[in-house]
Amino acid sequence: MDNQVIGLVANPTKATAADLTMQLAAQFRDAGGRLLMEEATATAAGLSGGLPLAAVAAEATVLVVLGGDGTILHTARQLGAAVKPLAAVNVGRLGFLTTATAAETDSFVQALIHGRYRISARQTIEAVFTDAEGRRHCQTGLNEAVISRGAAARTIRLDAVVDGVFVNRWSGDGLIVSSPTGSTAYCLSAGGPIIHPEAGVFCLTPICPHAIANRSVVISDSAVIELTASGASEELLLSIDGGAPWPLDLNGTVLLRRGAWTVPLVALPETTFYGVLRHKLQWNGGGV
């Protein structure tokens, strides 16, 4: 594939980011790709010519992200609807969303330069809410929206209405509403199901529910979810993709629905979702 423009974005807090940035920059240039580097990434690597992220994304065919899942989420959140296909080299921990490891950069570079990859379009989740100061917000995430208690160690009760129909009142530490991509993130840690990332669903998973019968509920991603606090007198927080939490208006409703855009993640031809699960979760694939 000709005229590949590669954008390079790194998490400068990662110990290996600077060295890997310089290595990949050389590899892409040697392979004939045009390279654009985000300004903080260039500075961390001691290189010149860095550009703002939006300018890099505007020209790039693919954005190469050096970091873990958190770096991908941060990059997608910054760019919003202007996001380009994201191909991540994992220098974090689990890396469910990443494309390759630092040991696979040779084949990774060649695949991107020659267009030997596929795109997995990941649905987002949009949250519309009012904060504790009465300001209205609309935020979009890739993984999940989480309502949780604040500093007070008290049970919170959340009423969930889906497409105008009451579903349940969950009592516990909070509620996770995840996209399929987010099913292997906080949702999984809270006991939720693993969902194929291209399934058209959302998953509602209570956090430390007080009733053992309160389990995850999987619904269509065409649904509109309304969450309201019942009898709350302490601080409630809303966090999108693990970002800084917003204190909520205790009398307000959090509306959740499918986001207006998808996030395109790059996958190499030999990679499958089930293979990633086996590797990341250390499944042995055998019988008892």
Sorted by sequence, the CB contacts under 8 Å of residue 78 that are 6+ apart come out as: 53
Sorted by sequence, the CB contacts under 8 Å of residue 54 that are 6+ apart come out as: 79, 82
Query: In Å, how far from its chain's centre is CA 248?
Result: 22
- State how far the Cα of 10 lies from the Cα of 53, in Å rounded to an integer: 11
Supply the residues annotated as catalytic.
69
Instruction: Using the structure block, give the residue that is written with the tokens 């505007």.
Output: 58
Give the HSE-up count for residue 56: Cα atoms under 13 Å, Cβ half-sphere. Answer: 27
Beta strands in the chain (DSSP E): 5-10, 34-37, 62-67, 86-90, 100-101, 118-130, 136-141, 144-149, 156-162, 165-172, 174-178, 201-207, 217-220, 225-229, 236-240, 246-247, 253-267
